[in-house]
Amino acid sequence: MTPEFVIEFAKQAIILTIYLSMPMLGLGLIAGLVVSVFQAVTQVQEMTLTFVPKIIAVFLGLLFAAPWMLDEMTSFTRRIIENIPLYIR
């Protein structure tokens, strides 16, 4: 294994991680913005009000995105396993 290969392999893994986490982070961000606007308008400053909607939004997003995420992770793992003979040269 060359250093270039290891760097490329790590880069692909990091890109996949970011690609899979972006929908959940986006939903959490949107839910946080909505709750912040609600808190600013009503002047209700309750700490649990910020966390519960974010958690619910992320879990709902995960529920709908889980098949896609699993497919992406499985195909990445399959490519790794299929290319093991190329890696050990």
pLDDT band at residue 2 under the 50/70/90 scheme: confident
pLDDT at 56 over 80: yes
53 with 75: CB under 8 angstroms?
A: no
pLDDT, one tens digit per residue, over 20-49 is 999 999 999 999 999 989 888 988 887 778
Q: Which residue has the higher pLDDT, 65 or 46?
A: 65
pLDDT at 89 over 80: no
Which pLDDT belongs to residue 45?
80
Give 21-38 as a DSSP string. Answer: HHHHHHHHHHHHHHHHHH
pTM assigned to the model: 0.77
